[in-house]
Amino acid sequence: MKCEKLDIWKKAARLSADLNKTFALYKDFGFKDQITRVGFSIASNRAKGIERDSFKEQIRCLDIAKGSTAEFTIQTYIAMDIGYIEKSIGKEWIEKIDHLVAMITKLQQALRRKQDANE
């Protein structure tokens, strides 16, 4: 797979693995399911996008991944507020997500430039 070579995918996949390890034993299955699924979504949509043929489809998958980062951020704040994770862990995850958002945005901009050049 091409995505395995990209830093953005590696970082998203590592974060998803961290989420699953952290919430593995939690009994609040609804919350656990939601936050782990959104973590998977970030890496998965990046992987899906890189395999698409058109720039438009690639950009769309990145849009979905970026939306998942916003959902993840909110769920992380909630997890900190209700005591599911330590604030230090939550802040670390949010920093990682902020970095991923910046990477996604730069990649989208590059794809849009390529798309415009090909039209």
Predicted confidence (pLDDT) per residue in 95-114, tens digit: 999 999 998 899 889 989 98
pLDDT over 80 at 12, yes or no: yes
Cα–Cα distance, 110 to 44 (Å, whole number): 20
Cα–Cα distance, 45 to 16 (Å, whole number): 13
Cα–Cα distance, 34 to 54 (Å, whole number): 30
Taking alpha carbons only, the member of 102, 78, 104, 108 closest to residue 90 is 78
% of the chain at pLDDT higher than 90: 35
Read off the pTM: 0.83
- Sign of the Cα pseudo-torsion (13, 43, 110, 115, in order): positive
CATH number of 29-118: 1.20.1440.60
Q: How confident is the model at residue 7 (pLDDT cuts 50, 70, 90)?
A: confident
Q: Say what the pLDDT of residue 2 is.
A: 67
